[in-house]
Structure 1
């Protein structure tokens, strides 16, 4: 899918998402990568610093790959992989610690849902984030979590 098609698809999805005040969600671009690295590092995710070339490639090859922006600053992101119909796997989701509790993570997940409304969302979570996902309807499955969307 080319960049223009992705942008149009995100715009359509965002019509259904309630965005926190002052927050915009859009497809990521390479100019966002240093902010993505900083947010990842703040979470303790080592790929950001130890494997930056691989991390950049992962972002280039992933979709949906979205950033949440406030005043032109990236304050959150989601990177996923999908077959477009059954499963959307969230590989990474992070929100700047100073911006948590404002609905940004929820809006990023909702955007993914509205991009692929028939796909369930699968992900792995840290213990610290488990309550966030469970509050949004995800359930624990073994070592992972899943939320199925039913229309």
Structure 2
């Protein structure tokens, strides 16, 4: 799907999502990557800065990939992968630590769901974010596994 199609799809989905006042959610663009790196660095997520070409490639090959803005500043993002029918995997969800608790993360997740309303949303979560996901209606299924090659 091209960028114009993605933006149109997001606009339709957003009509069914409650978004915090002053926040705009839209499809990401390459120009957002420095902000994604900045937010990731602040959280201790190193891949976008240490492996920028790979991370940028991941963003380019992911959909939905959305950013949340306040006053033209990216304050959050979500990057997901989906088959469009059954499963959506949330690869990354991050909100600026100073903006947490305002409903931005919940709105990003809900927008993903509204883009593909028949999918379930699966994810791996850090221990510190478990209460957030539970408050959003997620339930613990089992432990995840990861093997890194780089």
Q: Which has the higher strand share?
A: 1
Task: Determine the structure 1 residue equivalent to 2:128.
Answer: 128
Task: Determine the structure 2 residue equivalent to 1:101.
Answer: 101
Once the 2 structures are TM-superposed, how far is the Cα of residue 95 of structure 1 from its aligned partner?
0.1
SS of equivalent residue, structure 2 residue 140: strand
Q: Does 1:12 align with 2:8?
A: no
- Equivalent residues, number: 144
Q: Give the TM-score, by structure 2 length.
A: 0.94
Q: Does 1:141 align with 2:141?
A: yes
CA RMSD, aligned part only? 0.7
Task: Determine the structure 2 residue equivalent to 1:76.
Answer: 76
Between stretches 43-52 and 119-128, larger displacement belongs to 43-52
SS of equivalent residue, structure 2 residue 19: coil
Q: Does 1:90 align with 2:90?
A: yes
SS of equivalent residue, structure 1 residue 58: helix
Q: Which deviations, in whole Å up to 9, do the C-alpha atoms of 1:18-43 show, x marking residues without a partner?
A: 11000000000011000001111111
Task: Determine the structure 2 residue equivalent to 1:117.
Answer: 117
CA distance in 1, matches of 2:77, 2:49: 17
Moved over 4 A (4+): none
Q: Which runs of 5+ in 1 are unaligned?
A: 145-151
Q: Which runs of 5+ in 2 are unaligned?
A: 145-150
CA distance in 2, matches of 1:41, 1:85: 33
CA distance in 2, matches of 1:41, 1:79: 16
CA distance in 1, matches of 2:43, 2:62: 20
Q: Give the TM-score, by structure 1 length.
A: 0.94
Task: Determine the structure 1 residue equivalent to 2:2.
Answer: 2
